[in-house]
Amino acid sequence: MSFDFDLFVIGGGSGGIATARRAAEYGAKVGLAEFDRLGGTCVNRGCIPKKLMVYTSHFPSILEESQGYGWSPVKSTLDWSKMVKSINGEVDRLNGIYQKMLDKSNVRVYRTYGRLLGPHTVEVGDTEVTADKILIAVGGRPIKPDIPGKEYLVTSNAMFELPKKPKRVVIWGGGYIGVEFACIMHGLGSDVIQIIRRDKILKGFDEDLRSAIQESMLEHGIRILNNCSISGVKKTNQGLTVSLEGDSNNDMVLTDAIGLAATGRIPNLDNLGLENTGVEVQNGIIIVDKYSQTAEPNIYAVGDCTDRINLTPVAIGEGRAFADAKFGGKSCTMSYENIPSAVFSTPEAATVGLTEAQAKKQYGESTIKVYRSKFRPMYYVLSGKEEKTFMKLVVHKESDRVLGAHMVGDHAAEIIQGVAIAVKMGATKADFDTTIGIHPSSAEEFVTMR
C-alpha cells in the first residue's frame, strides 16, 4: 500500500518538530499538523517566555546589590507593556525560526488540527492524508480544579498576557510552575500569597532542596500558606474573595488580585480521534512502550501526552530516538536515568540523579553517605545580603559512585548541567575530589566537599 507520507506528526511542539526534522534527514517524506503557533508550550507559554520573565524579575535586586560595590542608587520602574511586547517579539522570532527549519527539512506543514480517522489516516482541515507511521506529539495543557468560582482563576498561560502588573497575586499550587511564578511576580513587585496542599513546596524533589527554596522564599517576603487548599472563589467590588479549607480556614479578600491555578496539567487529547484507532488511553494518558509505540503498531507518541518525564528536552530525546530507530536503522531507546532538571525560582534550583530518600530506599540507608555545603557566595559579601547557596552530593559508599547532585543558588542550572555529565558517566566521589576547582567560584564547592 502506498501512502502520502512515510511519517505524519500531529503536533508542532518541540518533540514533534525534532522528530519530523530527524526523520526527514533520513530521507523520509514527512508531514506535520499544528493548529497553533509552532514550538508548543515551551516556546509560546512556558520555558522561554517564563525564563525571560525570570530575568526581568532579577533586575531590582541587581540594582540594589550594586550599591555595595560603589554604584550610586538607581531609581528605576518597570514598563510592563514594554516587557510583554519584548517577550512576545522573541516568541514571534522563534516561531519564524521553527518554520524556516521545517521548510529547510522539506517537512510539509498543515496549519490546522490533525485528527485520526484510522490507523493510517489523518484528517487535516478539509482534506485527508495517509501515512505509514503516525506520531502523536500533542503535549499537555493546564487545568483548573473544579471548584465554585473557578472561572475567576487563570492558568499559567494567562500569566504572559496580563495587561498590567497586578498589585496582589494568589498562586494555588506548590509544584515548579507555582513556585516559579510566585518568585517571578514577587520580583516584579507584586505581593504574593502561595497556597500549597502540603507542608512544603516541590513534592518529589530532594527534601533539603525543598526546604532551602521555601525558607528563602519566606525570607524574601512571599507568604506561603501550608496544608490548605482553595474551596471557592467569588468576585466582589473589592477584588476576589478566596475561601480556604485545611489548616487555614479564614477567607481572604484580595484587592486587585490575580488568582493563578497552578495545580496540574493533562495531555491534550480532545478531538484527536483516538477512538478510531487501537491506541490505548489510561487516566487520560497515551500508553506507550519503551520504543514510544502505542497499542496501534504504526502509531507512536512522545512528550507530555505520554506523561513519562514532562520536560522539553525529554520530548525531543524521545522523538529523535524514535526517528533514529524507525528511519535511521539504529537500535536505540530513550534513557530516563539521571535526567537533570531545574526550577527557575529565586533562588534557582537544579538537580540530577537520585534524591537522598530515593537512594536510601533503593540501596539501603546504611549504604548512603551524604555531603552537604551551605555558604554565602562571594557576590553577596559586599552587598551585605545573607543569601545562601546550598549544595549536596548523595554517594553510594560501596562503589563510591555519586548517585545524585542537588543545588540551590545562583546559576544552579548552569552548574548542574556540567555535573550531570559526570553523574551520567558514573563518576565517583574520588573523581570529584581529584578534580581541581575553579577559584573563586561557587561551582568549586562540588569538588571540595569532605
Of 3.30.70.1710, 1.10.1370.30, 3.30.1360.170, 3.30.390.30, the CATH number of 341-447 is 3.30.390.30
Q: Cell 500533542, residue?
A: 138
pTM (2 decimals)? 0.96
Alpha-carbon gap, residue 10 to 36, rounded angstroms: 12
Instruction: Tell me the mean pLDDT in the region 366-370.
Output: 98
Q: What is the pLDDT of residues 249-272, one digit of tens each?
A: 566 767 677 899 999 999 999 999
Strand partners, 172: 195, 261
Q: What is the CATH number of domain 150-262?
A: 3.50.50.60
Angle at 441 between CA 436 and CA 442, to 5 degrees: 100
pLDDT at 249: 59
pLDDT number for residue 248: 67
Calpha distance 79→197 (Å, rounded): 34
Can 150-262 and 341-447 be said to share one CATH topology? no
Domain ranges (residues) in the chain: 5-141+267-327, 150-262, 341-447
For residue 381, what are the CA distances in angstroms to 67, 212, 315? 12, 20, 41
Phi, psi of 332 (to 5 degrees): -150, 150
Q: What are 373-425's pLDDT values in tens digits?
A: 999 999 999 999 999 999 999 999 999 999 999 999 999 999 999 999 999 99
CATH code 3.30.365.10 for 5-141+267-327? no
For residue 433, the one-letter residue type is: D
Alpha helical stretches, state H, 252-406: 312-327, 356-363
The yes-or-no answer on residue 58 being catalytic is no
The three three-digit cell numbers of residue 201, written as one number: 513546596
Tell me, what's the pLDDT at 247? Answer: 81
- The pLDDT, as a whole number, for residue 236 is 87
The β-bridge partners of 193 are 170, 223
Q: What is the share, in percent, of the chain residues with pLDDT greater than 70?
A: 99
